[in-house]
């Protein structure tokens, strides 16, 4: 790619479309679906069970070796990455159409089935788009590519979130009508053609990899049973501590996750011991990418993994309380929807462009540092808003600053993760990194409400800003001792 008008050349523009294709399904699995289910009269406890479909995004690392190393027997002319991309995009469209044809009021099982499949193919598409982006251009051009990806992703979330609900309101009334949601999900499936267009019009990355067409059925079954064991044990181990016992609840939750991972690991080993799946294949699929990362970064690998797991901690822990804070502060739902969910999306996109350009212009580590700094500092604006009188202008200013900083930090972080990823194990390593980056922040964020109960909003937001300070020290240290090594 040439340097002039870097964002508006063919590859970044096609990445905008692929980002849109990645971002479209996720809200149709979560928030939009929950509105449909509530309107259908499904009880609250059952609606929340649908969130388990989100485990597909958390566990995508488990099947990332398949899409990284296995050549599809169909669509061979498109190449390795594009054939997988087209296959998953067509599968997403079919899942959306089949979901549209179900009626959760009469047969919830089929709605759950197709939503679970939708989440699986959506998370698989995420693996592929990340790998396609990393392999398509060198590290120096990852800034513009990542910015366009984030922009497309955010626009798609706006379409699938606010757009789908606007469509539902346009087609129907407040009373439940399955035909309304059928139209909404079918229209959303049509939007997936944007991703298919990008896939067909793009060129296959020129990366030579040793691929296989071996039978992976046993491997897939092993993965499936491991995931089922994880979910089952997680759901059976109820937290015995009271809401106020924050520290003990955190220790229990962390221990529960460790037990679940150990159980999944034991299931893996059981299938190897009985000869159901190959130890060599498991080692090649999962350990080789890890050993490759350890070989490249040696004793500094732990520092890098710590940075990955902590980089988004300030905004993720704060973010889970944002909407609750707006409501309890006294802002109206319409104001929150307009400025947070609608205009906030465009502020995030703007921040993403600035972050991507800064990485391209000044280097990844400098952009990474500045992104972490402003992401943590923006939380202090929420602390100020908590003690300020209600003002729509204050709300707009804080939301705009927060979304720009979040977009900047997100783009810089994606670029950093892309640089860490070896071209030998693109999909597998990036899927591993993206899983690690949200584990600790999400775990801690689950107790944000209890923290607010103890200290109040102003001190809580100040504390989340302080959580981001160790990250700044890590970035300075790592930039000196462990530069990016492809």
Q: Domain boundary residue among 201, 236, 255? A: 201
- Which helix (H) or strand (E) covers residue 6, if one does? none
pLDDT at residue number 196:
97
Residues 257 and 315 in one domain: no
Q: How would residue 212 be classed by pLDDT, with cut points 50, 70 and 90?
A: low
Instruction: Provide the domain count of the chain.
Output: 3
Q: Is the pLDDT of residue 68 over 70?
A: yes
Distance CA 27, CA 164 (A): 9
DSSP per-residue letters across 200-244 = HHSPPP------B----HHHHHHHHHHHHHHHHHHHHS---S-TT
pLDDT at residue number 480:
85
Q: How would residue 1 be classed by pLDDT, with cut points 50, 70 and 90?
A: low
Distance CA 115, CA 333 (A): 28
Residues 237 and 118 in one domain: no
pLDDT higher for 344 or 244? 344
What percent of the chain is predicted at pLDDT more than 90?
32
pLDDT at residue number 332:
78
Highest mean pLDDT among 181-190, 325-334, 402-411: 181-190
Residue pair 69/285 in contact by the 8 Å Cβ criterion:
yes
Distance CA 485, CA 421 (A): 9
Q: How would residue 267 be classed by pLDDT, with cut points 50, 70 and 90?
A: confident
287 lies in a domain? no
Residue pair 131/81 in contact by the 8 Å Cβ criterion:
yes
412 lies in a domain? yes
Residues 458 and 339 in one domain: yes
Cβ neighbours for 16, distance < 8 A, ≥ 6 positions apart: 148, 149, 151, 152
Residues 121 and 15 in one domain: yes
Residues 364 and 231 in one domain: no
Residues 21 and 169 in one domain: yes
Q: What is the pLDDT of residues 102-124, one digit of tens each?
A: 999 888 889 988 998 999 999 99
**Quick check: helix, strand or coil at residue 179?**
helix
Q: What is the pLDDT of residues 132-141, one digit of tens each?
A: 999 988 877 8
pLDDT at residue number 52:
66
Residues 188 and 321 in one domain: no
pLDDT at residue number 238:
77
Q: Is the pLDDT of residue 129 over 90?
A: yes
107 lies in a domain? yes
342 lies in a domain? yes
**Quick check: helix, strand or coil at residue 359?**
helix
Q: What is the pLDDT of residues 133-168, one digit of tens each?
A: 999 888 778 888 888 998 899 899 888 887 887 888
272 lies in a domain? yes
Q: Is the pLDDT of residue 4 over 60?
A: no
Q: Domain boundary residue among 174, 201, 228? A: 201
Highest mean pLDDT among 47-56, 68-77, 404-413: 404-413
pLDDT at residue number 250:
72
Query: What's the mean pLDDT in 279-296?
Result: 82
Q: Which of 176-190, 396-410, 427-441, 460-474 has the lowest mean pLDDT?
A: 427-441
Q: How would residue 25 be classed by pLDDT, with cut points 50, 70 and 90?
A: very high
pLDDT at residue number 272:
85
- Domain hosting residue 244, numbered range: 214-277
Average pLDDT, the chain: 85
Residues 65 and 134 in one domain: yes
314 lies in a domain? yes
pLDDT at residue number 29:
87
pLDDT at residue number 275:
82
pLDDT higher for 252 or 88? 88
pLDDT at residue number 472:
94
Q: How would residue 175 be classed by pLDDT, with cut points 50, 70 and 90?
A: low
Residues 270 and 387 in one domain: no
Closest CA to 239 of 252, 251, 230: 252
Residue pair 11/143 in contact by the 8 Å Cβ criterion:
no
Q: Is the pLDDT of residue 174 over 70?
A: no
pLDDT at residue number 40:
86
Q: What is the pLDDT of residues 249-264, one digit of tens each?
A: 778 877 887 888 888 8
From the number of C-beta atoms within 10 Å of its C-beta (0-12, 13-18, 19+), residue 92 rates as buried
pLDDT at residue number 431:
84
- Which helix (H) or strand (E) covers residue 102, if one does? none
Whole-model pTM?
0.78
Q: What is the pLDDT of residues 27-45, one digit of tens each?
A: 898 778 887 887 888 876 5
Q: What is the pLDDT of residues 307-349, one digit of tens each?
A: 998 998 898 888 878 877 887 888 876 677 677 767 778 888 8
139 lies in a domain? yes
Residues 324 and 348 in one domain: yes
Residues 119 and 263 in one domain: no
142 lies in a domain? yes
Q: Domain boundary residue among 201, 233, 252? A: 201
Residues 256 and 129 in one domain: no
User: What is the CATH number for 185?
Assistant: 1.20.1250.20
């Amino acid at each position: 790619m040439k340097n002039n008008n870097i964002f508006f050349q063919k590859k970044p523009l096609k990445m905008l479309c692929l980002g849109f294709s990645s971002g479209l399904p996720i809200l149709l699995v979560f928030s939009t679906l929950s509105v449909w289910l509530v309107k259908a009269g499904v009880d609250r406890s059952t609606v929340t069970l649908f969130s388990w479909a989100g485990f597909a995004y958390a566990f995508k690392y488990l099947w990332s070796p398949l899409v990284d190393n296995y050549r599809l027997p169909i669509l061979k002319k498109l190449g390795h990455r594009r054939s997988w991309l087209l296959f998953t995009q067509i599968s997403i469209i079919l899942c959306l159409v089949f979901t549209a044809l179900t009626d959760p009021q009469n047969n919830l099982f089929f709605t759950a089935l197709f939503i679970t499949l939708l989440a699986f193919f959506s998370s698989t598409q995420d693996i592929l788009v990340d790998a396609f982006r990393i392999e398509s251009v060198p590290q120096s051009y990852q800034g513009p590519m990542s910015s366009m990806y984030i922009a497309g992703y955010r626009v798609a979330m706006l379409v699938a979130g606010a757009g789908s609900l606007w469509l539902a309101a346009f087609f129907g009334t407040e009373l439940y009508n399955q035909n309304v949601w059928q139209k909404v999900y079918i229209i959303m499936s049509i939007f997936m053609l944007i991703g298919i267009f990008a896939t067909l019009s793009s060129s296959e990355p020129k990366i030579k990899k040793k691929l296989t067409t071996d039978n992976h059925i046993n491997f897939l079954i092993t993965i499936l049973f491991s995931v089922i064991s994880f979910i089952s044990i997680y759901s059976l181990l109820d937290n015995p501590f009271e809401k106020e016992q924050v520290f003990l609840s955190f220790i229990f939750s962390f221990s529960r996750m460790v037990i679940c991972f150990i159980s999944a690991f034991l299931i893996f080993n059981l299938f190897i011991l009985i000869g159901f799946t190959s130890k060599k294949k498991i080692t090649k699929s999962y350990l080789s990418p890890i050993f490759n990362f350890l070989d490249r970064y040696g004793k500094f690998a732990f520092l890098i993994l710590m940075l990955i797991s902590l980089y988004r901690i300030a905004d993720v822990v704060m973010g889970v309380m944002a909407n609750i804070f707006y409501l309890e502060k006294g802002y109206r739902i319409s104001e929150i929807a307009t400025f947070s969910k609608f205009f906030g999306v465009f502020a995030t996109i703007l921040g993403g462009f600035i972050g991507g350009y800064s990485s391209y212009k000044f280097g990844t580590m400098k952009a990474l540092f500045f992104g972490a700094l402003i992401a943590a500092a923006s939380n202090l604006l929420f602390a100020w808003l908590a003690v300020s009188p209600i003002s729509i202008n204050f709300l707009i200013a804080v939301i705009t600053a927060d979304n720009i900083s979040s977009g900047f930090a997100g783009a810089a972080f994606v670029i950093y993760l892309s640089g860490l990823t070896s071209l030998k194990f693109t999909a597998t390593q990036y899927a591993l990194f993206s899983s690690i980056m949200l584990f600790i922040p999400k775990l801690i964020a689950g107790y944000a409400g209890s923290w607010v109960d103890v200290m109040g909003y102003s001190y809580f937001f100040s504390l989340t800003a302080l959580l981001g300070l160790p990250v700044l020290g890590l970035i300075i240290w790592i930039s000196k001792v462990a530069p990016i090594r492809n």
